Structure 1
Amino acid sequence: MNAVEIEEAVSMLAEAPFDSVEFPFTFLEAFGNKPTTIKRLKSGNSNQSDLPGAVLQRNNIHLKICAEGEVTATLTALRESAATARQKVKFILATDGKSFEAENLVDGETIACDYPDFPDHFGFFLPLAGITTVRQIRENAFDIKATGRLNRLYIELLKENPDWDTAERREEMNHFMARLIFCFFAEDTNIFHKEGLFTQTVAQMSASDSSNTHEVLSDIFRAMCTPLARRESAKIRSWANVFPYVNGGLFAGGVEVPRFSKIARSYLLHVGSLDWTKINPDIFGSMIQAVADDEERGSLGMHYTSVPNILKVLNPLFLDDLRAQLEAAEDNARKLLNLRQRMSRIRVFDPACGSGNFLVIAYKEMRAIEAEINRRRGEPDRKSDIPLTNFRGIEIRHFSCEVARLALIIAEYQCDVLYRGLRLALAEFLPLKADNWITCGNALRLDWLSICPPTGTGVKLVADDLFSTPLEQTEIDFENEGGETYICGNPPYLGSTWQSKEQKGEIRDVVNGRTNSPGFLDYVSGWFIKAADWLQHSSGRAAFVSTNSICQGQMVPLLWPIIWEADCEILFAHTSFKWSNLASNNAGVTVAIVCIARTSNNPKALFEIDERKEASVRLGSAITPYLTLGKFVIVKKLAEPVSGHAVMEFGNKPSDGGNLLVAREEVNSLGLSTEQKKRFLRTIVGSEDFINGNSRYCIWIEDSHLEEALSIATIAARVELVRQIRLASPDKGANALAKRSHQLKLMRIGKQHSIVVPAVSSERRAYLPVGLVGKNTTVTNAAFALFDAPLWNMALIASRLHLVWVSTVCGKLETRIRYSNTLGWNTFPVPTLTEQNKADLTHCAEEILLAREHYFPATIADMYDPDRMDNEFPLVRQTHDHNDEVLERIYIGRRFKNDTERLEKLFELYTKMTSQQALSKKPAKRKAKGSTR
């Protein structure tokens, strides 16, 4: 369930007659508990409570229905219950059907309200559904409630008007919904000069059977697009004439309205009865953007981006600088005036604006700074000098465009009320302006210079109209001449595997031949490249939230040379963090924030959680594409280890149609003697086999034993099948392999042992699942191996240092770590090791292997499960910690503070080693003819 669905379920529970027996179970069901879970709680099988009549769900909630007037005492009993502590309860709840009290035991936050009002606090309980909440949602459930009600109205209207549910009329439907949202807001905020005017008029003037609801709405809309002086001639009905002139493009054009069913009319009145003064435009826009999209409606309410996360982009992009200028100005009237004039010319451009939340937050933050300027200058009532037309956006979905503009209009009104007072806000709000600043279109196909040109260039806008014909761009640009432009946003993430043919074509066209493999680029790369191209014409900056994949693996050499060739660099960045949404049990996507700008001597800042680090421009340091501090470097595949450690090779690719592989249960069917099994069978493991403790066998025939092997009928039959399969293959390499159809494509095996490294493993593990197998075991091509390598090599691979390096330079398969010998192992920089170092590391590897043996038959999957490792397998953790201690002291004489410091040191060493290697391989210069040197 998502947040909108949960809010609806909770509201329905509160509206139903109170049932003291069923309430605990219905409440839990509203937060996504499955019927089987509820059944077990009801039966008492999983109810862990020690209080009579109470219900306790382990790790979640302890709740009890009590007699009237005993709610507070019951909450105390729940708090003091031994079961509450023992079962790690997060919430306690008590109610008598009249009063309602609850407490979050994790942070101590409480709520107390009348029972019918508890749905207003549903955000308080969202962790019960596995949803990480943020303060704005906990404190204000209105935006989610409004979204749910509007969604039901939208769906009901499409049922009643199937002709409006077509591509030809969908924009018309979306525009109608935008008009409704404005009316709901306007009637509750005095814009219509009478509270509830719109909803009351619809209720009074439309028939209860809904037969004329569409006509009433059409008349209201017609009044709002007709100036007062023309209303008599336009024959506006007297009951509609009370509505003010709005227009601004929102009510221009046709006023046709879809027909309403009785249910749709009821939904409309219900939505209108909500308190729209509580709307938060930056939250509401994100909530509602999926309403009009069939494909996204299932994720309704999941797109909320928290204000703190948005400010991670906007603060270092430009807001911090404005606040610093404000602080420096103090009460100097001239400096304050200069800052205000500067702000009036700042343009914020989001080329993937969705419903406009980045633009809304930027606008609200700038208005707060401007209000402080006006206060210090003694001009608190002054009209804002910050025009909405300076907040530009591109969005591919029409309804989101409509909502984005509405959100900004609402934000402007709310800021005017907050900083200038209701009277002045109302006096200047209507009619709406006809300016267009949100463009509906494909950002990767549109020319950004035509939508947000550098100031003073006079380029005319070429894009779809939104509400009406826009001002000519020359007019807007003249007003903004000499200003700054900041590009920002959260573009869509789509790995190359999930891109459509059209999306791949968009990326290919944006790249325009500047890299050889555009098909491997993430979709978000298109926005970075477009921004770099735009920055060729301006000194602005561009900061995007992006999947951290653009700073890892093969994406780095594909994307970042294009950015660098455009004379751009990373100005600031936030290293990887989770960007969660409002879906239940959502793990969130791991993102990074990266800002690019034209190359300059400006300070470069790297943020990791709450720590800020600056690159030393004086020492030639910068932020690398891997989001570390250091010199610009791109890690490329190497044919051999840069540090001289052992060679790592692919495992054996069977290329056999499965005929040389033998499951354990198939061994006896081969009819081999004990001696033949020893000679012709080897254990073989791949990544999953090794991690999960499984294994198979493979037929292993050395050329010297071929004649004997073929004398065994069961083996000869399998060899013949391999020959036929390889001959039938369209691959010439496979055809050639038919000459030795008794063998795997590769025949690699250790004479003493092999160090095994799975090619793919979970990113959740604290260490790579490396291990050791004996001389009778080989590996498939789903793993890598170091055959007969000294054991200290395993200590390197088992280290946190190596995991961090591989995670960064090798990239991911989906979210899992994808290992590479040429990109991860051969490039891994290791200081020169003394014999004592090697002995110490060998001992560390032995300790890790012995710790695993201690927990036999637990598997790698068991022991390295992050939820179990510390509690169930502490020896494994301890031996890895010791290994890290020993290795990291070799690097810097102490433990590293964090992964960022690890990466910085590794990149420093890599740069040094590869530079030395390049110098040593450089051919000697030929003597010029006639030279005496």
Structure 2
Amino acid sequence: MNAVEIEEAISALAEMPFDGEEFPFAFLLAFGNKATTIKMLRKGARNKSDLGGVLQTNKIHLKVCTEGEVTNSVAELKASPATTKAKAKFVLATDGTDLEAEDLTTGETIACAYTDFPDHFGFFLPLAGISTVKQIRESAFDIKATGRLNRLYVELLKDNPEWGTAARRHDMNHFMARLIFCFFAEDTDIFTEPDQFTGTIERMSEKDSSNTHEVISELFRAMNTKADDRTAAGIARWANVFPYVNGGLFSGGTDVPRFSKIARSYLIHIGSLDWTKINPDIFGSMIQAVADDEERGALGMHYTSVPNILKVLNPLFLDDLREKLEDAGDNPRKLLNLRNRIAKIRVFDPACGSGNFLVIAYKEMRAIEAAINELRDEADRRTEIPITNFRGIELRDFPAEIARLALIIAEYQCDVTYRGQKEALAEFLPLDAQNWITCGNALRLDWLSICPPTGTGVKHHADDLFHSPLDQAQIDFENEGGETYICGNPPYLGSTWQSKEQKEDLQRIFDGRTTSWKSLDYVAGWFMKATDFGMHTKSSAAFVSTNSICQGQQVPILWPLIFQTGHEIAFAHTSFKWANLAAHNAGVTVAIIGISNHATQVRQLFSMIDDGEVVVKEAENINAYLVAAPIVSIEKRSKPLSAIHPMDRGNGPTDGGNLLLMGSEVVELSLTDREQKKFIRPFFGSVEFIRGINRFCLWIKDQDAEAARGNPAVQRRIEAVREMRLASSKAATRAGAKFPHRFDEKRQEGGETVIAVPRVSSENRQFLPCGFLPPESIVSDSAFALYDAPIWNMALIASRLHLVWIATVCGKLKTDFRYSNTMGWNTFPVPKLTEKNKEDLTRCAEDILLAREAHFPATIADLYDPEKMPADLRAAHDRNDETLERIYIGRRFRNDTERLEKLFELYTKMTTKDLNKPNSRMKA
């Protein structure tokens, strides 16, 4: 369950008549517990309460008490030995009138009327596995309002299915935007009376809802008609009290979907919420899922927290403004210059969604401007920051409408905060008709026309704000010479997941620049468009991105194109999880990358350490791998850069599964002991090696093929391989049908010692899995192998140094490490090793193998589980790391950042010397 679903369930529970016996179970059910869990608690099998309540291990101890005993009951629950033994995180007591609870981890408490406890639902969200509790509490209203609006939206479409068609979807979305404005306006004195909109609907519409749509339509018509024109327009007297709003929000058609009794009830219930609590920077990103059929299942999870957004905006430009404010002190001239500068700043989000980046940028700039006005004794001064300076592009029309509405609401809220309610109201209505959010495909639009760097743009001629043309939404800037900051969280989409249209988007941008654009993530298009924008004007840009554009094969494709335009990386946040509001959601791993064509000499590199703390490193340069090191693109190499053993891929059977066998299938072949020894080999790919799965293969040498065919079962398998290869559309595979007894891609003879390295392995392991295979093993092409290599090579692969190199330069498959011999092993910079160095590393590798052997039959998966790793194995790896790192710098590295800096420094030196060597590199 997500936060919206939980809030709805808790609200429904609070609205029902209180049932003391049922409350604990209904409460737990609302937080996502399965019916089977509730059944077990009812029976008492899992209920360990010693106070006649309900106790769920590791979660909560609840008790329904007699009237007036709530506080005492909470104390009893806290003191209960059962609470301690079960490691309960919460205690809760209620008598149906009052409710009190305590978080035993933090000591935080709540006390409220029973009917009000849904307002505190965020307090209990750890029960549902949701960890972003602080942000949810701060946006509790937005979650509640999103859920209510979704219920209304779904109910209206049920009775008005035509409004859900492509032809009328825009009308439906526009209708919802109007409703949101009216709910906000009636609670913030924009309308002259409290609950004016909801109250009028409740009074003037029939209880059977037969004329609800007519009443709402007349209200919309009034808000679109100037006072002087209302008599001629025949506006109803009861609607005449509403102000003229227009600005495009109420212009155009006033058609309204028909309401059922349920829909009318939902609408009135939504109006009863306190819309003064709306957070436009958060609300929009939640509500956008309401109007999207595919996203409605993830309702409320489209949440971008303010702290995460500020990770983009602060180093992009807000930190600089705050520093200038501090430097100005109380100097009137400096303060005036800063205010004038702020008024000319353009913030442009070319993937703006519902506008949260733009809204937060606006609110933060208004706060700085207010501080300037306070210092200049001009606190009542009208803002000089126009919301039309906050421009965006959004592909879908509903989020685009919500973005405009969110900025309008943010402007009003800031005016109330910094100038007072009276001044805010005096200047708020009517809304103007300027349009500053474009609805269209950002990768196909001309950013310079939408956010021109000068004040010479063409005025936008549309007569309303909320019906913009798809190609352009433009008005003149009155701020010649202002700065432009591009920001946002564009869609990521790796190459595998891109639609035909999205691939065409990238082709339009990159065709003629690189032939390898098909390998790029979709987000790369926004970076390239930002640099194209910067070629025409001084600008800076920062995007949230998948970290994969800073890893592996994408780096030498994308980043040289960016750097050659004069842009550099001005700041970056290295990889961190960007989570949403779903329970147990791990989030996507992202990076934040800021680029500029006028970067300062000091660059900032932000990294998150294990406890969640962010550390900042100042550097002279940040390269495309987000390391404080020289700019370099790691390209595939056919041979190792360092004096290490060559690594090759394993063997590819291309056999339709006929040369591969499980143990039972080996038995079914009825081979003699001699035949089994000659034709059957242990077979290891990544999975078999890591999980200890016994698998085998037919490994038949050419000279033994005729003898092998003498076994009917073997002959059937060989013939099946031949038929499978002949049926292939690939010429090379068909050619392999001549030798169906052997692997199609054969890279070993079968008698070598083999150090195996899986191609894909979990990011959770602190060391890359690698090791020796049993004698005469065959390694599959799902792994890499070093054949007959000295054992000290394994010490390199098993090191932390090598893991951070692989994680950085090879990229990942989803979040797992993706190994590459040409990109990861052949590029790995290793200092020249003495014989003593090799002896020391050999001993370290042997110690690792012996520690593993001591825990037989534990598998690699068992041994390298980070929570269960044996102490002796961990100690062996620590000794290996210390031995290797002393070879590099004479001591242990302090952290991974230092490791990468040293590796890139060494790589740069080695490749500079290596440039004139033939056949050393492969093109990526």
Return the TM-score normalized by structure 2. 0.96
Please state if 1:898 is matched with 2:887.
no
Kindly tell me: are residues 156 and 474 of structure 1, through their superposed partners in 2, closer, same or farther at Cα, counting changes over 3 Å? closer
Write out per-residue CA displacement over residues 338-384 of structure 1, whole angstroms, 9 at most, x where no aligned residue.
Answer: 11111110111111111111111111101111111111111111100
- Please tell me the residue identity of whatever aligns with 2:127: L
In structure 2, the partner of 1:911 is 908
Name the counterpart of 2:767: 767
Q: How many angstroms does 1:759 deviate by? A: 1.0
Residue pair 1:522, 1:550 contacting (<8 A) in 2 also: yes
Q: CA deviation at 1:158?
A: 1.1
Residue 326 of structure 1: aligned partner: 325
Matches within 5 A, 1:844-863: 844-863=844-863
1:504 partner amino acid: K
Aligned to 2:4: 4
1:464 to partner: Cα distance: 12
**Matched residue, 1:816:** 816
Contact 2:569/2:599 (CA < 8 Å) preserved in 1?
no
Deviations along 1:91-124, one digit per CA (max 9) or x if unpaired, are 2222222221222233222211111111001111
Q: Kindly tell me: are residues 476 and 913 of structure 1, through their superposed partners in 2, closer, same or farther at Cα, counting changes over 3 Å?
A: same
The secondary structure found in structure 2 opposite 1:784 is: strand
Provide the C-alpha distance between the structure 1 equivalents of 2:87 and 2:753, rounded to a whole number of angstroms: 46
- Residue 751 (structure 1) aligned with residue 751 (structure 2): yes
Q: Distance in 2 between matches of 1:795 and 1:733?
A: 37
Q: How does 1:676-825 map to 2 (within 5 A)?
A: 676-745=675-744, 746-749=746-749, 751=751, 753-825=753-825
- Decide whether the 8 Å contact of 2:661 with 2:696 is kept in 1: yes
Residues 241-269 of structure 1, C-alpha deviations (whole Å, 9 max, x = no match): 11111111111122111111111111110
SS of the residue corresponding to residue 627 of structure 1 reads coil
Q: Is the 8 A contact 1:640 1:822 kept in 2?
A: yes
Deviation at 1:705, TM superposition (A): 3.4
- Does residue 265 (structure 1) correspond to residue 264 (structure 2)? The answer is yes
C-alpha separation in 2, matches of 1:899 and 1:393: 38
Per the alignment, residue 611 of structure 1 pairs with 615
Q: 1:612 to 1:412 in 2, by over 3 A?
A: same
Indicate how the Cα distance of structure 1 residues 684 and 486 shifts in structure 2: closer, same or farther if over 3 A, else same. Answer: same
Name the CA distance, whole Å, in 1 between partners of 2:112 and 2:59: 21
CA distance in 1, matches of 2:766, 2:57: 27
What's the CA shift string for 1:191-211, capped at 9, x where partnerless?
112111111111001111111
In the alignment, the residues of structure 2 paired with residue 202 and residue 75 of structure 1 have an alpha-carbon distance, to the nearest angstrom, of 44
Q: Which residue number in structure 1 is paired with residue 376 of structure 2?
A: 377
Q: Would you say 1:828 and 2:825 are equivalent positions?
A: no
Q: Secondary structure at the match of 2:754?
A: strand
- Residues 1:18 and 2:27 are matched in the alignment: no
Query: Matched residue of 1:529: which SS?
Result: helix
Separation in structure 2 between the aligned mates of residue 474 and residue 171 of structure 1, nearest angstrom? 17
Deviation at 1:486, TM superposition (A): 0.5
- 1:434 equivalenced with 2:438 (yes/no): no
Cα distance, 1:91–1:246 mapped onto 2, change above 3 Å: same
In the TM superposition, residue 445 of structure 1 has moved relative to its aligned partner by 1.4
Kindly provide the amino acid, as one letter, of the partner of residue 293 in structure 1. Answer: D
Amino acid at match of 1:400: P
Asked whether 1:313 is paired with 2:306, we answer no
Q: Is the 8 A contact 2:459 2:474 kept in 1?
A: no
Whether contact under 8 Å (2:538, 2:598) holds in the other structure is no
For these two proteins, the number of residue pairs brought into alignment is 913
Shift of residue 292 of structure 1?
0.7
Deviation of 1:736 after TM superposition, in Å, equals 3.3
CA distance in 2, matches of 1:845, 1:83: 49
1:740-783 deviation digits (Å, cap 9, x = unpaired): 33222305156352111111111222111112112221111111
Deviation at 1:703, TM superposition (A): 3.4
Shift in CA distance, 701/163, structure 1 to aligned 2, threshold 3 Å: closer
CA 1:399–1:613: 2 relative to 1, 3 Å: same
Please give the secondary structure, in 1, of the residue aligned with 2:19. Answer: coil
Deviation (angstroms), 1:509: 0.9
Alpha-carbon contact 2:438-2:472 (below 8 Å) kept: no
In the TM superposition, what are the counterparts of 1:26-175 in structure 2 within 5 Å?
26-47=26-47, 49-175=48-174
In structure 2, the partner of 1:929 is none
C-alpha contact (below 8 Å) 2:649/2:747 kept by paired residues:
no
Aligned to 2:778, the other structure's residue is in SS state: strand
* 1:786-827 CA-partner distances (Å, limit 9, x unpaired): 112111111111111111111111112222221111111111
| Secondary structure class of the residue paired with 2:543 | strand
More deviation, 693-702/6-15: 693-702
Q: Is the 8 A contact 1:686 1:780 kept in 2?
A: yes
Contact 2:393–2:441 (CA under 8 A) maintained in structure 1: yes
SS at match of 1:92: strand
Question: What is the CA deviation profile of residues 448-490 of structure 1, one whole-angstrom value per residue up to 9, with x for unaligned ones?
Answer: 11110112342566999752579x9999545111111101111
Helix, strand or coil at the partner of 2:291: coil
In structure 1, how many angstroms separate the alpha carbons of the residues matched to 2:770 and 2:603? 37
**Number of the residue aligned with 1:887:** 884
Q: In the superposition, relative to structure 1, how do residues 7 and 646 fare at CA in structure 2: closer, same or farther (>3 Å)?
A: same
Q: Please report the TM-score for the alignment, with normalisation by the length of structure 1.
A: 0.95
Deviation at 1:726, TM superposition (A): 3.1
Q: Sequence identity, in percent?
A: 66
Residue equivalent to 1:552: 551
8 Å contact kept, 1:14–1:118? yes
Picking from 872, 875, 879, the partner of 1:878 is 875
SS, match of residue 113 in structure 1: strand
Whether contact under 8 Å (2:459, 2:475) holds in the other structure is: no
Partners of 1:469 and 1:590 in 2: how far apart?
A: 35
Output the CA distance in 2 between the equivalents of 1:644 and 1:13: 69
- The residue type paired with residue 892 of structure 1 is I
Kept after mapping to 1: 8 A contact 2:460/2:475: no
Whole-Å separation in 1 of the counterparts to 2:80 and 2:647: 58
Which residue type is aligned with residue 352 of structure 1?
Answer: A
C-alpha distance in 2 between matches for 1:214 and 1:579: 41
Assess if the C-alpha contact under 8 Å between 2:247 and 2:464 holds in 1. no
Tell me what 2:611 maps to: none
Report the CA distance between 1:517 and its aligned residue.
2.1
Kept in 2, the 8 Å contact 1:450–1:462? The answer is no
AA in 1 matched with 2:813: L
Query: Aligned AA for 2:20?
Result: S
CA offsets 1:537-561 (integer angstroms, 9 cap, x no match): 1111110011111111111122112
SS in 2 for 1:573: strand
Instruction: Output the CA distance in 2 between the equivalents of 1:474 and 1:9.
Output: 41
Any conservation in 2 of the 1:749–1:775 contact (CA below 8 Å)? no
Letter in 2 for 1:876: L
| CA offset digits 1:481-512 (Å, max 9, x no partner) | 11111011111121111111111111111213
Once the two structures are overlaid, the 10-residue window that deviates more, 97-106 or 74-83, is 74-83
Instruction: Answer yes or no: is the 8 Å Cα contact 1:440–1:464 preserved in 2.
Output: no
**Which residue type is aligned with residue 547 of structure 1?**
T
Aligned-residue offset at 1:903: 1.3
| Secondary structure in 2 matching 1:896 | coil
Asked if structure 2 preserves the Cα contact closer than 8 Å seen for 1:440 and 1:463, the reply is no
Residue 213 of structure 2 is matched in structure 1 by 214
* C-alpha displacement of 1:830: 1.2
**Change in CA separation of 1:681 and 1:474 when aligned onto 2, cut-off 3 Å:** closer
What does residue range 348-427 of structure 1 map to in structure 2 within 5 Å? 348-427=347-426
- Letter of the aligned partner of 2:222 in structure 1? A
The letter of the residue matching 2:879 is H
Alpha-carbon offset, residue 612 of structure 1: 1.4
Query: 2:492: which partner in 1?
Result: 493
Describe the SS at the equivalent of 2:239.
Answer: coil
Provide structure 2 residue ranges, at least 5 long, that are not aligned to the other structure.
Answer: 609-613
* Contiguous gaps of at least 5 residues in structure 1: 617-621, 924-933
Q: Note the C-alpha offset of 1:722.
A: 2.8
Query: C-alpha separation between the residues in 2 aligned to 1:442 and 1:58?
Result: 51
Q: Is the 8 A contact 2:692 2:859 kept in 1?
A: yes
- The one-letter amino acid paired with 1:718 is R
DSSP 3-state at the match of 1:289: helix
Let me know the Cα RMSD of the aligned residues: 2.1
- Read off the aligned partner of 2:817 and give its amino acid letter: I
